[in-house]
Homo-oligomer: A and B are copies of this chain.
Amino acid sequence: MISTPLSEQPRIVLFGLRNAGKSSLMNNILKNYISIVADFPGTTTDPVTKSMELGKLGPVAFTDTAGLDDTGEIGTLRVKRTLDFLKVADIAILVTPVDKPPSEIEINFALEINSKNKPFVIALTFADKKPDEKKLKWASQFNSVKINNITCEGVEELKKLLISFSSQLEFEIPPLEGIVKENDFVVLVTPIDLAAPKGRLILPQVETIRDALDKDCGVLIVKERELKLFYDSLKIKPKIVITDSQAFSKVAADIPETQLLTSFSILFARKKGDLSLFVKGIKKLDSIKPNSKILILEACSHHQQADDIGTVKIPRLFRQMVQSNCEFEFARELPPEEKLKEFSFVIQCGGCMVTRRKILYRLQIFENYGIPSTNYGLFLAWANGLLPRAIEPFQYEYELYLSS
């Protein structure tokens, strides 16, 4: 059985009209992997989902859906359900017989998938029959593979194509990955800001709650003021306490010293970046020389960080705690090579609006030039005295930080 939770496996969803050969294709893809196939229980309206290891994609979940042309009362519900799966699909396969012209539903559906910029392949089934010219012409706009479900011809080619999409898939680290296991208990401490919109939680909190539920954990959520009361009401010791970093010192004082404790900012530095690289960067701070140039780098041009963290707060803390005499430059795009070389240190934003891939790409470039770097979350955690305790849950980074 595959132990990666379903929610973290890339989801490959098979769509198509009724009798296009979706189920046969799914069976053929999974055929030689029968021993590691895991069935996931779903409600009666859930399409069949099975997992297998697929090359460097690792464990992936295949979902077979109801026909896009299903009719009747129940059929209409099934089609709606199928369209829901388009939203969560990481890769979409549209299964369609090669010997029939594309239907209006198929044409529209292909446009819909394509508009979402998701990796997408058309599986042209019934490859033993005479191809329809219109179908071939239409399919040629997209990735396509001819499949014979009887002989399995084309199935390996399809798998290779799916694996080739790996570079297009997101591979963030879920907030609690590697920290908790099934039936662990997690405590989240979430101060509520007076200016926070009514009835909402901020996204890192929501993502962490959801990840805990996906990992079959229980989650206690409290404000920092009520933490001690409810922490003491538990018969079990939580696996970890995660707090908003602004409440870190109060939280640390209210729980036993043996309790694992970290901050949302650390979890999200890891999710969207490279925690060990960021910790290495922090350790280089004491060798920053006067008159160094420091690059503060954000990740997107359309999204201004709240409270001017990058333009005001970080430079101020840096001058106070690292080196009073430094020059700061703020940018949203990676500077050209010649320019980049001038910098002694880079502090990268959290990357909330971009992919982890984009951040890792940048970090690789800094490493190539031998420029140490860290991110907003780690820098602020360090400046506010959260280290090393907040990285104790991460054995490698913790030892790295303590090593001389």
Residues of A bordering B, CB below 8 Å: 6-7, 40, 42-43, 46, 49, 63, 73, 76-77, 80-81, 84-85, 87-88, 174, 183, 185, 190, 192-201, 206-207, 209-214, 216-223, 225-226, 229-230, 233-236, 246, 306-308, 312, 316
Output the residue of A42, A76, A218, A222 with the most chain B CB within 10 A. Answer: A218
Instruction: State the oligomeric state as a number of copies.
Output: 2
Contact A216 B210 (CB under 8 A): no
Known: A73-B312, A201-B206, A233-B185. A192 touches B213 (CB 8 A): yes
Measured in the bound complex, the distance between the Cα atoms of B49 and A22 in whole Å is: 61
Measured in the bound complex, the distance between the Cα atoms of B32 and A28 in whole Å is: 79
A195 — which chain B residues lie within 8 A by C-beta? 46, 81, 84-85, 87-88
A40 — which chain B residues lie within 8 A by C-beta? 194
Which residue of chain B lies nearest to A182 when distances are taken between CB atoms in the complex? B226
A275 to chain B minimum Cβ distance, whole angstroms, is: 19
Measured in the bound complex, the distance between the Cα atoms of B60 and A263 in whole Å is: 34
Known: A199-B207, A229-B183. A73 touches B221 (CB 8 A): no
A209 — which chain B residues lie within 8 A by C-beta? 201, 209, 221
Known: A194-B40, A233-B234, A307-B80. A221 touches B213 (CB 8 A): yes
Contact A218 B210 (CB under 8 A): no
Measured in the bound complex, the distance between the Cα atoms of B307 and A229 in whole Å is: 42
A200 — which chain B residues lie within 8 A by C-beta? 206-207, 210
Contact B218 A229 (CB under 8 A): yes
